[in-house]
């Protein structure tokens, strides 16, 4: 055990806890939740159930990066999550591309009572997601698709050795699995999505290239897309992803949950991974 690295990791976590809107005024309590989770996982090494917000629950264990932050922050991706909660309405359609363990799908269907299509290509991750859906009695609200999303129908290799952070692989080996890939235009041909979240570990450009008609659908109001330069391994730059989105009449924006104000910005976020986009003809603060 590297003590120096452990101390640095704890200090880094504590600094983020002190900055988070929901924990900055009770940072030591949140840090205790962090210690409690990690100590428990070190001893027992198995999933445990945790109570979340508005009566939601989830199972989580060490390595479940898509959910464990909710244990000590209360709500990860705070501004983005609150925008979803404040904007999505009952029976509207939310599409979760790269659903992971279901953070956003659980919020959309569990709190907003929206319909969700949760797309997760890795079977082991999808099984964990399905367990959380059943735990919250949301099977009638959330449709699971165990496929990948790209710019055409094909079969691609996906990694399997990165816990819940797997992605399209450039090579095939013992740590990859073949996955069927479709386009958003194919699976949403007869649907009217209102909100789409895309987090596919660098494959965002390909996903958007296969979504021309979807992005042009008048029903679609909001996009939430990850920008973290991970597309460079596929020779896709963040700017290309941004340009493709804005060509479809979407503009980047920031959301302030307390005032519920939306502010239009000029480019994608560089201080955090996700960027919110709204349809240009929508009055953001109407």
Confidence of residue 3 (pLDDT cuts 50, 70, 90): confident
Query: For 220-274, what is each residue's pLDDT tens digit?
Result: 999 999 998 888 888 899 999 999 999 999 999 999 999 999 999 999 988 888 9
Position 169 confidence tier, pLDDT thresholds 50, 70, 90:
confident
| Mean of the per-residue pLDDT values of the chain | 93
CA-to-CA distance for 116 and 149, rounded, in angstroms?
A: 16
For 142, 230, 270, the CA distances from 10, given in Å and listed in that order, are 36, 25, 24
| pLDDT tens string 45-57 | 899 999 999 999 9
Contact 218, 236 (CB under 8 A): no
Residue range 92-110, pLDDT digits in tens:
999 999 999 999 999 999 9
Whether the predicted pLDDT of 1 surpasses 60: no
Is residue 61 scored above 90 in pLDDT? yes
pLDDT of residue 231: 85
- Assess whether pLDDT exceeds 70 at residue 118: yes
What are the C-alpha distances in Å from 31 to residues 27, 62, 120? 6, 16, 31
Name the range with the highest mean pLDDT among 114-123, 151-160, 274-283. Answer: 114-123
**Is the pLDDT reported for residue 170 higher than 60?**
yes
pLDDT of 178 over the 80 cut? yes
pLDDT above 90 (res 164): no
Is residue 152 pLDDT above 80, yes or no?
yes
What's the pLDDT tens digit per position in 181-204? 999 999 999 999 999 999 998 899
Q: What is the 3-state secondary structure (H, E, C) of the chain?
A: CCHHHHHHHHHHHHHHHHHCCCCCCCHHHHHHHHHHHHHHHHHHCCCEEEECCCCCEEEECCCCCCCCHHHHHCCCCHHHHHHHHHHCCCCCEEEEECCCCCHHHHHHHHCCCCEEEEECCCHHHHHHHHHHHHHCCCCCCEEEECCEECCCCEEEEEECCCCCCCCECCCCCCCEEEEEEECHHHHCCCCCEEEEEECCCCCHHHHHHCCHHHHHCCCCCEEEEECCCHHHHHCCCHHHHHHHHHCCCEEEEEEECCCCEEEECCCCCCCCCEEEEEECCCCCCC
Q: Are the CB atoms for 275 and 264 separated by under 8 Å?
A: no
Q: Do β-strands 93-97 and 193-198 pair in parallel, antiparallel, or remain unpaired? A: parallel
Q: CATH classification of 77-279, choosing from 3.40.50.970, 3.90.180.10, 3.40.50.150, 3.30.750.24?
A: 3.40.50.150
The pLDDT-based confidence of 165 (bands split at 50, 70, 90) is confident
Give which of 151, 146, 129 is closest to 138, Cα–Cα. Answer: 129
Q: Where are the domains of the chain?
A: 1-74, 77-279
pLDDT at 4: 80
- Mean pLDDT throughout 115-122? 97
**Over residues 117-128, mean pLDDT:** 95
Confidence of residue 285 (pLDDT cuts 50, 70, 90): low
Label residue 162 by pLDDT band (50, 70, 90).
Answer: confident
């Amino acid at each position: 055990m590297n003590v120096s690295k452990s101390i640095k990791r704890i200090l880094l976590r504590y600094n983020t806890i002190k900055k988070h809107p929901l924990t900055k005024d009770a940072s030591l309590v949140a840090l205790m939740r962090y210690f409690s989770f990690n100590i428990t996982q070190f001893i027992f090494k198995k999933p445990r159930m945790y109570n979340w917000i508005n009566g939601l629950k989830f199972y989580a264990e060490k390595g479940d990066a898509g959910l464990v932050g909710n244990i000590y922050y209360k709500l990860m991706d705070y501004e983005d999550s609150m925008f979803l909660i404040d904007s999505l309405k009952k029976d509207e359609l939310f599409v979760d591309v790269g659903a992971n363990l279901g953070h956003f799908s659980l919020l959309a269907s569990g709190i907003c009572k929206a319909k969700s299509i949760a797309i997760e290509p890795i079977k082991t991750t999808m099984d964990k997601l399905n367990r959380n859906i059943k735990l919250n009695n949301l099977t009638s609200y959330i449709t699971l698709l165990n496929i990948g999303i790209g710019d055409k129908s094909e079969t691609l290799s996906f990694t399997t050795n990165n816990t819940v952070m797997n992605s399209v692989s450039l090579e095939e080996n013992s740590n990859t699995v073949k996955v069927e890939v479709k386009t958003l235009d194919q699976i949403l041909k007869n649907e009217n999505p209102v909100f789409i979240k895309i987090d596919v570990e660098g494959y965002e450009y390909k996903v958007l290239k296969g979504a021309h008609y979807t992005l042009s659908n008048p029903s679609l109001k909001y996009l939430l897309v990850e920008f973290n330069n991970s597309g460079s391994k596929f020779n896709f730059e963040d700017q290309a992803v941004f340009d493709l989105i804005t060509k479809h009449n979407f503009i980047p924006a920031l959301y302030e949950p307390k005032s519920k104000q939306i502010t239009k910005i000029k480019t994608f976020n560089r201080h955090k991974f996700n960027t919110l986009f709204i349809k240009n003809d929508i009055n953001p603060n109407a």
